[in-house]
Amino acid sequence: MLAKKPPARRSRTPQDSAAKADAPSHIPTTIRNPERVAHRRTELIEVATKMFLERGFHNTSIRDIARACTFNVASLYMYVSSKDDILYLVAKDLMTNIAERLAATTLDPQSQHRSLQIGFSNYCQIANRFRRTIRLLYHEVDFMPPRSRADTIATVSSVIDYFQDIIAKGVTSGEFRSVSPRLAALNIVMVAHMIALHTREVRALGDLDFFIKQQLDLIFAGLQAQPTGPAIKSTSRRAKKFD
C-alpha cells in the first residue's frame, strides 16, 4: 500500500497579497464616501502613471499631477497625503491587475508541464501588457516608504510562489527533475520580466509568441525529467591523461 501524502500547504497567491494590501488601505483620506475616493484615486493613478513614465517619479511634482487632473491641489490632498502615496496607488493598481489575471488562469491539474506552459504564457502576456508600469516600479520601489515597499514586494513574492507550487508538484510527480522549486520559480519570473526591462532587445528577436515559445523550450530543457531506461554505454573515447 502507498503511504498517504500529507495535505498540501496552500501557497500564498498573488490575489491574497493584493487583497492584503488593499484592505484596509493605509493611505489616509478625509473623504468618507468610498465610491468617491475610488473614483478620484482611479483618475490619480491614470494621470500619475503617465507622468511618472514620461518624466520620472522624482521629476514629477504634486502640482504637475494636480494640473493634469480635473481637481486642484487642495482637493488632491483630500485623497492622498504625499507623492509617495500616489506611487503606492500606482503599485497597488498593478498588483491588483496581476492578481486578477493570474487568478483567472485555468491550469491543468493532470499535468504540471502543461500548467507551467499555461502559467508562464499568461504571465508573459501580463508582463507585456503592464511592461511600462513594471519597469517604473523596478526603478522606484526602493524609494517607497517601508510599508508600501513591503506590500509591493509581497506581491512579487506571491507570483514566485505561484510558479514554485507548479514546479514542486512537477518534481513530486516525476515530470520535472529534482531542482529547487523556489530558485526555478524565481528564474521563471525574472525571464518574464525581461519583456518589461529589456523591451527593445526582446522585440528585436521576434514577437511575443516567439519569445514565449523559445523561453519555454529553455525552461523545460532545464526542468524536464529524463526518461528512465537501461543505461546506454558511451562510445566516445576517454581523453588520455598527460604523463
Residues 117-128 as b or e (16 or more Cβ within 10 Å = b):
bbbbbbbbbbbb
Domain locations along the chain: 14-24+83-223, 29-80
Model confidence pLDDT, tens digit, residues 150-191: 988 888 899 999 999 999 999 999 999 999 999 999 999 999
H/E run at residue 74? helix 73-76
Q: Does domain 29-80 have CATH number 1.10.10.60?
A: yes
Q: What is the mean pLDDT of residues 4-8?
A: 44
- 3-class SS at 176? strand
Phi first, then psi: give them for residue 179, nearest 5 degrees.
-130, 170
For 14-24+83-223, give the CATH class.
mainly alpha
Model confidence pLDDT, tens digit, residues 82-132: 999 999 999 999 988 998 999 999 999 999 999 999 999 999 999 999 999
Q: Which three cell numbers stand for residue 218?
A: 529553455
Phi first, then psi: give them for residue 28, nearest 5 degrees.
-70, 150
Model confidence pLDDT, tens digit, residues 22-44: 433 578 788 888 898 889 999 99
Give the integer Cα–Cα distance in Å for 199 and 52: 18
Chain centre distance of CA 176: 23
